[in-house]
Amino acid sequence: EMKTNTDPDSVAKMSKKEIKELKAKTKEQREGALAEAKIVRKAGEARLKNWNKATKEMLGFLTSLTVLDISHNKLTELPRSIGHLRNLTELNSCHNEVKLLPDTFVRLTNLVRLELQHNKLDALPDNMGRKMLDLEEMDVSHNNLQRLPALDYSENNLRVVDASFNQLSRVPPIGPKMRHLNVSGNEKLNSWTKLNQAR
C-alpha cells in the first residue's frame, strides 16, 4: 500500500498515477485537518486558530495564500513547508515560542509585512536582507536576538523595523529606504553606545 506522504517535495517526485492516488486518499484528510484547525479563509487569507500536526503537514499545500496569521498558537517552530507559500505578502506569527526559522524561510520573497514579535528567536537568517527584497515592515521585538542580518542592500525595501527589547549589542548598516528603526530596550546596545560615546 502506498504511504500517504503529503510533503510537497515528496509529491514532486511522484508519478502521475501516484499523485492521483494520493489526491484521492488525502482530499478528505486535508479537508478534515483544515476544518479541525478552524481555518478562516477568504480572498487568499488564512488564520489558523488551532495548530496541530495535521495542519503542519497540510500548510505547504496552501500555495495561493497571500496573508497568513498563525499567531497565538504556542508554536515552537515553523515547518519547512512554509517555504512553499511563495505568494505570501503578509505573515503574522507573533506571540508564539519560535526559537529558529527554517532555512526555507527566505523563499518567501514576496513578503511585504512580517510580524514575529514575542517569540524566542535567537537569530534571523543571515541572507534575509539579500533574499527578501520586497519586505517593507518587520517586527521582531521582544525576542532574544543578539544581532540583525545586514539590511543595507541597495535593492532592499525595508522601511520600518522594530527590534526593541532583544539582546542586540550593535546595529547593522541599514539601507537608504529605512525610515524607522526601533532598538530601544536593548541593554547590551545601550552599554555599547555609552562606551563608544565616552571614547
Contact (Cβ atoms closer than 8 angstroms) between residue 170 and residue 190: no
Q: Distance between CA atoms of 37 and 53, rounded to whole angstroms?
A: 10
Q: Coil, strand or helix: which one is 180?
A: strand
Each domain of the chain, given as residue ranges in start order, spans 8-198
Q: pTM value?
A: 0.77
Which of the pair, 37 or 181, is modelled with greater confidence? 181
The stretch 13-35 carries a mean pLDDT of 58
With H, G, I as helix, E, B as strand and everything else as coil, classify residue 138. Answer: strand
**What pLDDT sits at residue 186?**
94
For residue 86, what pLDDT is reported? 94
SS3 91: strand
Q: Which CATH architecture has domain 8-198?
A: Alpha-Beta Horseshoe (3.80)
- pLDDT tens-digit series, residues 50-96: 787 778 878 888 888 999 999 999 999 999 999 999 999 999 999 99
Closest of 55, 60, 86, 75 to residue 7, by C-alpha? 60
Confidence of residue 109 (pLDDT cuts 50, 70, 90): very high
| Residues contacting residue 113 through CB under 8 Å, at least 6 positions apart | 89, 90, 91, 135, 136, 137, 138
Cell numbers of 180, please?
524607522
Over residues 136-192, the pLDDT tens digits come to 999 999 999 999 998 877 788 999 999 999 999 988 888 889 999 999 999 988 654
Backbone φ/ψ region at 95: left (φ over 0), alpha (ψ -120 to 50), beta? left
